[in-house]
């Protein structure tokens, strides 16, 4: 026994460990170089689509709405025969929760790309979370269709990303244009705007959009107030707004903070002529109205989707969504509607253009850029009615709309030519 135990000296142990390290490192190299790339199968039976959404956490309201929408549309596409040009291949949806954190989105993307082997990834609603997924998708050439709005998502040199909804800066500018027009109609002018926003990426960029458009119109905001995303008490913020004595408050909230904001405005009796949101989250969607009660009355927000768009398909889709889930589809669901339908069109095209490798990332991107949709379900659910990607991967014909809470219900008030009713102004 003693002899044997001496057999393994420290030097020998070190040699063994060193050898193992070398073997491991060389192994990694060999594996990564010679690892066979995904074999191209002749017959494609399914298209794997990953969906990363915040199903839990601070933004869960949106993530769950997006998931509902995705399930609805995928079911419709599959029941109508799948992707015809791919021999009727069905879309298979893989949903992962980002937990409303950047790490969570990253982990979800890792799993979808490396374990489930998805061909396309849709997500992650929060721009910052979407950015963390691109490190994972880019090297594997997985196409990302973003449903997040921050401008530079598509401008960071990543090749395999497209985004259909209007950018955050468009939301900010739309909010300003709308408010200016509303003031004008009442014979007034915006003189003392205050910008209030949460301090995340999306809040900053959208507020920048508001600020820039105001500056272009020669209006200087009297204050710009940031608050933390996880704020639990809004009264200091309301107090600062009151001190600034504004005629209009532009606000970029998410969901829970928008509810707190609306309630604090009401309970502290903040007097301001108009409160205009930007960015499509909070204030005038059905969930926020339900949570905040009548506190959101007459507040507005900008959206990437118009649930009241009077096209045949949209009417029928909204009705189906409402009867299935009991609520009006807004921002999160709407983006998924036209994103998935656009994907479907792109897959059809890719199947025709590249019958050998229709799901290859490069080919799918070519097909996406080739599309110019003016009819069909995708165009019929898009606010401007047209989808054509520009070189950056953004829709050239992007447009945002404004919904106002009137009588406890969201109604379309802008653009005026499409509006259901006139915007109500000023607040009592």
CA 326 – CA 346 distance, rounded (Å) = 31
Min. distance of Cβ 104 from another protein in angstroms?
10
Instruction: Tell which positions 350-369 bind another protein, by CB under 8 A.
Output: none
Distances (CA, A) of 413 to 30, 72, 178, 417: 61, 28, 9, 9
CA atoms in the 13 A half-sphere facing the CB of 91: 31
Judged by beta carbon, residue 90 or residue 111, the one nearer another protein is 111
Across 54-71, b (16+ Cβ under 10 Å) vs e yields bbeebbbbbbbbbbbbbb
Min. distance of Cβ 304 from another protein in angstroms?
21
| Among 160, 183, 211, 227, interactor with another protein by CB under 8 A | 227
CA 168 – CA 149 distance, rounded (Å) = 5
| Among 269, 391, 407, 428, interactor with another protein by CB under 8 A | 269
Min. distance of Cβ 7 from another protein in angstroms?
7
Judged by beta carbon, residue 169 or residue 342, the one nearer another protein is 169
Say if residues 100 and 55 touch (Cβ distance below 8 Å): no
CA 229 – CA 212 distance, rounded (Å) = 23
Judged by beta carbon, residue 83 or residue 201, the one nearer another protein is 201
Instruction: Tell which positions 297-356 bind another protein, by CB under 8 A.
Output: none
Min. distance of Cβ 393 from another protein in angstroms?
17
Min. distance of Cβ 340 from another protein in angstroms?
22
- The residue count for binding another protein (CB under 8 A) is 79
Judged by beta carbon, residue 14 or residue 186, the one nearer another protein is 14
| Among 106, 163, 213, 344, interactor with another protein by CB under 8 A | 106
Burial class (CB in 10 A: 0-12, 13-18, 19+), 375: exposed
Using CB under 8 A as the criterion, what x/- string covers residues 20-59 for binding another protein?
Answer: xx-xxx-xx--xx--x-------------------xxxxx
Q: Is 138 in the site for another protein (CB under 8 A)?
A: yes
Q: What is the DSSP letter of 205?
A: H
The alpha-carbon radius of gyration of the chain (Å, integer) is: 25
Contacts of 417 (CB under 8 A, 6+ apart): none
Which SS3 state, helix, strand or coil, does residue 82 take? coil
| Among 114, 185, 191, 421, interactor with another protein by CB under 8 A | 114
| Among 49, 77, 113, 332, interactor with another protein by CB under 8 A | 113
Q: Is 136 in the site for another protein (CB under 8 A)?
A: yes
| Among 89, 248, 252, 292, interactor with another protein by CB under 8 A | 292
Instruction: Tell which positions 229-258 bind another protein, by CB under 8 A.
Output: 229-233, 235-237, 239-240, 242-243, 255-257
The CA-based dihedral angle spanning residues 66, 50, 347, 331, taken in that order and rounded to the nearest 10 degrees: 20
DSSP sequence for 278-310: -SSSSSSSHHHHHHHGGGGTT-EEEES--TT--
Which SS3 state, helix, strand or coil, does residue 422 take? coil
Question: Distance from first CA to last CA of the chain, Å, rounded?
Answer: 93
CA 1 – CA 3 distance, rounded (Å) = 5
Burial class (CB in 10 A: 0-12, 13-18, 19+), 314: buried
Judged by beta carbon, residue 129 or residue 344, the one nearer another protein is 129
Segment lying near another protein (by CB under 8 A), choices 160-168, 291-299, 324-332, 342-350: 291-299
Segment lying near another protein (by CB under 8 A), choices 73-81, 162-170, 227-235, 370-378: 227-235
Q: What are the backbone dihedrals phi and psi of residue 236, each rounded to the nearest 5 degrees, phi first?
A: -60, -35
Judged by beta carbon, residue 97 or residue 380, the one nearer another protein is 97
Segment lying near another protein (by CB under 8 A), choices 44-52, 141-149, 266-274, 366-374: 266-274
Min. distance of Cβ 414 from another protein in angstroms?
28
Q: Is 263 in the site for another protein (CB under 8 A)?
A: yes
Judged by beta carbon, residue 72 or residue 295, the one nearer another protein is 295
Using CB under 8 A as the criterion, what x/- string covers residues 368-397 for binding another protein?
Answer: ------------------------------
Q: Using the Cα atoms of residue 170, residue 343, residue 410 and residue 397 in order, give the sign of their dihedral.
A: positive
Q: Is 200 in the site for another protein (CB under 8 A)?
A: yes
| Among 65, 72, 89, 100, interactor with another protein by CB under 8 A | 100
User: Could you tell me how many residues make up the chain?
Assistant: 428
Element holding 352 (H helix, E strand) = helix 331-353
Judged by beta carbon, residue 159 or residue 374, the one nearer another protein is 159
The residue assigned the tokens 């709308």 is 178
């Amino acid at each position: 026994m003693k002899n044997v135990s001496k057999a393994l000296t420290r030097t020998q142990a070190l040699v063994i460990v060193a050898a193992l390290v070398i073997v491991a490192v060389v192994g990694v190299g060999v594996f990564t170089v010679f690892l066979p790339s995904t074999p191209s199968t002749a017959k494609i039976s399914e298209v794997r689509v990953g969906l990363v959404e915040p199903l839990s956490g601070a933004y869960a309201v949106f993530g769950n709405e997006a998931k509902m929408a995705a399930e609805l549309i995928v079911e419709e596409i599959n029941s109508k025969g799948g992707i015809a040009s791919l021999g009727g291949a069905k879309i298979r949806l893989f949903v992962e929760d980002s937990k409303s954190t950047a790490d969570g989105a990253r982990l979800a993307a890792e799993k979808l790309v490396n374990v489930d082997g998805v061909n396309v990834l849709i997500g992650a609603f929060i721009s910052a979370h979407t950015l963390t997924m691109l490190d994972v998708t880019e090297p594997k050439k997985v196409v990302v269709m973003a449903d997040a709005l921050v401008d530079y998502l598509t401008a960071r040199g990543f090749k395999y990303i497209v985004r259909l909804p209007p950018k955050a800066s468009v939301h900010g500018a739309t909010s300003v244009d709308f408010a200016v027009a509303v003031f004008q109609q009442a014979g007034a002018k915006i003189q003392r705007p205050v910008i209030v926003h949460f301090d995340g990426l999306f809040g900053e960029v959208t507020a920048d959009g508001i600020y820039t458009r105001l500056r272009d119109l020669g209006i200087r905001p009297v204050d710009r107030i940031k608050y933390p995303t996880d704020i639990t008490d809004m009264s200091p913020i309301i107090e600062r707004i009151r001190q600034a004595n504004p005629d209009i408050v532009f606000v970029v909230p998410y969901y829970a903070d928008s509810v707190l904001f609306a309630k604090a405005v009401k309970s502290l009796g903040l007097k301001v002529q108009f409160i205009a949101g930007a960015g499509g989250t909070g204030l005038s969607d059905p969930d926020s109205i339900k949570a905040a009660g009548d506190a959101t009355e007459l507040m507005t927000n900008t959206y990437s989707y118009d649930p009241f768009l009077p096209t045949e398909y949209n009417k029928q889709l909204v009705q189906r969504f409402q009867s299935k889930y009991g609520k009006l589809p807004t921002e999160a669901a709407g983006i998924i509607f036209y994103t998935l339908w656009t994907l479907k069109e792109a897959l059809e095209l890719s199947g025709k253009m590249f019958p050998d490798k229709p799901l290859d990332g490069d080919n799918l991107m070519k097909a996406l850029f080739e599309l110019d949709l003016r009819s069909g379900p995708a165009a019929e659910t898009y606010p401007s009615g047209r989808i054509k990607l520009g070189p950056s991967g953004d829709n050239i014909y992007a447009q945002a709309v404004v919904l106002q809470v009137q009588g406890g219900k969201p109604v379309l008030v802008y653009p005026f030519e499409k509006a259901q009713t006139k915007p109500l102004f000023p607040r009592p």
